[in-house]
Amino acid sequence: MISHRDPNLPLILAPAGNKAGFLAALAAGAEAVYCGLKQLSARREAKNFTFEELAGLTDLAHSRGSRVFVTINTLIKPDELNQAGKMLDDLNRRIHPDALIIQDPAVIELARQTGFSGELHLSTLANCGFGAALSLISRIRGVTRVVLPRELNIDEIKQLADACPENIGLEVFVHGALCYGVSGRCYWSSFLGGKSGLRGRCVQPCRRLYRQESDSKRYFSCQDLSLDVLVKVLLSVPSIKGWKIEGRKKGPHYVYYTVRAYKMLRDHPQDPLARKEALTLLSLALGRTGTHYGFLSQRPSNPIQVEGQTGSGLLLGKVSQGGDQSYLDLKQDLLAGDVLRIGYEDESGHATLKIGRNIITGSRFFLPSSGQSKTQQGAPVFLIDRREPDLTEKITRLEQQLKPSKNREWPSSPFKALLPRVRINRLPSIDQKVGRLIPSHDRNREEIGVWLSEKTELTGLSKSNIWWWLSPIIWPAEEAQYQSLLKQLLQKGSRHFVLNAPWQIALFRNPQRLTLWAGPFCNLSNPLSIQQLKSYGFSGAIVSPELGQEDYLSLPRQSPLPLGIVLSGLWPLCLARILSDRLKADRPFQSPKGEMAWAVRRDSNYWVYPNWEINLTAYRKELEQAGYQRFVRLRETVPRSVKIKERPGTWNWKIGLP
């Protein structure tokens, strides 16, 4: 089936983590497929593709009128710039994808250097969530689309659409897993275990059980987003060019069913029979329980249901015990090739099981025993993947149309990244203490940083030497308020600001007259990303706190801007827009491994903090010698019920960032 889409309708963008998923997307009629290569993809746990696999699949997709978007949406380390550039060069010469989905600003420069001919789409990890940002992005060569945060409601989406320049399209998520933390603002997995979500290695600590006081609940585990029939509202917003389905780690069954469902909802928005069939398909897609989340501003729904099941898959029932054997009373058929998950990944007895033969409804299915922990009575059993004969046949027919790759002997790219010119200008190091309140007096030899907030009292302020820190997240409704606060500060003589998203520089009319530094939430990790921000008008940059020793020490001698680093202080595990109504803010909670943390409301977001600090103080001299100029010390008010623990706070310094 070759796709012939009305160009005025948004395309359905399907996920593919392996060949079967890619072919399932085509079989369902997806107009675009997004996927990753084996490296530099934000879903490293998906199987992803080799160049040879992707070349044939892309040719097949193009022959059927479907587009292919390749994700290179991870944070890139200094020693990976050549690898990333070679990948772009090879993609351009061998595969010809229609677009790249990117997070790191360095990829914009690498695309220019390699002559990449496709589009550039800013990932939701790039955190572009307010109108002025779109105006700046529209002037960046090659960038044609912005993937919006999942947390936005329809009114906010429309507000951004009204501010959207004609050369930029918007893309919204309509279905799939929800992260608790705002994309690009979650460091939980990295902070606790060195596996960064910004590098595609998240181990999903938000899905685990946490204890607060006497209750142990999944306080941060979200249901799946499912806009289902509400997507009809999006059809009235012409700036929206794509409906995105999350799920590169899901199987072909999920891909096929969700794509078919949303095509029906898009193409027949007024047809009640089509709507009914689409909802049936989504109920069988093997995802988690669905939620509309905050899409309807007048009827928002908290996606955290601590009493419900939060594992993906269709719940088949619960384990029973008969003597020494565990079994499941089947209430629906199982097919050969089905994959079951028994229990939750963080609980005793968890296992996955592939079914070898068809088993009919009403049967008692005995679970095989293993040498691992015994399956617990009452453990839930989920159907997480299915290979029904009809879909398998469709995938097989498409696979037979794949042509052998002609590029098997293609020589690897000789590309070498052109790095920016570096001016080494060693200056005395400066300490900057950053807090929430305006201090009553200044300390000698120490800069003062203050988080700018809707609660900041600016009346009578005369301190022009304060460095004002902007929030890592600015939602559409907050843009006007920030504009007003900044106007007042500029009138009072303030000239020093730290911006925690690259696009926040669009809030300033004359950035060249100010001292604007990129903050640590900009997630800068290589000289080309810093060069890109210099071209926007930044004066300096505070690098990502996730890096390891080798990366930190190499950056200053490659950077075109003066650099700073977070030397010590409380760094959030994540920022989120929601909090479970069962979790108390400003009170400690405990992870399964005994780590303590707490959540606090800051304006419209929740900041989740661990009860120990980053502390690279022991390496200060080494960092100074490497060329760092500004050393940031973050200070937060700690609730009385929380005790800060003395423990090493080196994060990834010793282990590096894998």
pLDDT tens, residue by residue, 293-346:
999 999 989 999 887 666 778 889 899 987 778 899 998 899 999 999 988 877
pLDDT at 5: 62
Average pLDDT on 507-512 reads 94
Residue with tokens 């600003």: 105
Given a cut of 90, is residue 162 above it in pLDDT? yes
pLDDT at 351: 86
More confident residue, 630 or 50: 630
Q: Which amino acid is at 106?
A: A
Given a cut of 70, is residue 599 above it in pLDDT? yes
pLDDT band at 441 (very low <50, low <70, confident <90, very high): low
pLDDT band at 227 (very low <50, low <70, confident <90, very high): very high
pLDDT at 495: 94
Given a cut of 70, is residue 136 above it in pLDDT? yes
Contact at 8 Å (CB) between 469 and 449?
A: yes
Average pLDDT on 380-390 reads 90
pTM of the model: 0.94
More confident residue, 367 or 22: 22
pLDDT at 462: 64
Question: What is the b/e burial string over 467-495, where b = at least 16 CB atoms within 10 angstroms of the residue's CB?
Answer: bbbbbbbbbbebbeebeebbeebbeeebe
Lookup: tokens for 509 = 């009319």
Q: What's the CATH number for 314-385?
A: 2.40.30
Average pLDDT on 371-382 reads 75
What DSSP state is assigned to residue 65?
Answer: T
Given a cut of 70, is residue 568 above it in pLDDT? yes
Average pLDDT on 218-239 reads 96
- Residues paired with 15 in a beta bridge: 34
Of 375-379, 606-610, 628-632, give the lowest mean pLDDT range. Answer: 375-379
Q: Where in the chain is the domain with CATH 2.40.30?
A: 314-385
pLDDT at 407: 53
**Rounded to 5 degrees, what are φ and ψ at 154?**
-65, -35
Of 29-33, 197-201, 562-566, 617-621, give the lowest mean pLDDT range. Answer: 197-201
Q: Where in the chain is the domain with CATH 3.20.20.70?
A: 11-178+224-286+391-400, 430-571+613-634
Average pLDDT on 283-302 reads 92
Average pLDDT on 529-550 reads 97
Q: How many CB atoms lie within 10 A of CB 423?
A: 9
List CB contacts of 141: < 8 A, sequence separation 6 or more: 108, 112
As a dihedral over the C-alpha atoms of residue 321, residue 323, residue 326, residue 332, rounded to 10 degrees, the angle is: -70
Mean pLDDT over the full length of the chain: 92
CATH superfamily of 11-178+224-286+391-400: Aldolase class I (3.20.20.70)
List CB contacts of 237: < 8 A, sequence separation 6 or more: 157, 158, 161, 170
Of 59-68, 78-87, 248-257, 325-334, give the lowest mean pLDDT range. Answer: 325-334
End-to-end CA, the chain: 41
Given a cut of 70, is residue 2 above it in pLDDT? no
Q: What's the CATH number for 430-571+613-634?
A: 3.20.20.70
Contact at 8 Å (CB) between 631 and 565?
A: yes
Average pLDDT on 587-591 reads 96
CA distance 329 to 320: 8
The conformational region for residue 161 under phi > 0 = left, psi -120 to 50 = alpha, else beta, is: alpha
3-state secondary structure 69-125: EEEECCCCCHHHHHHHHHHHHHHHHHHCCCEEEECCCHHHHHHHHHCCCCEEEECHH
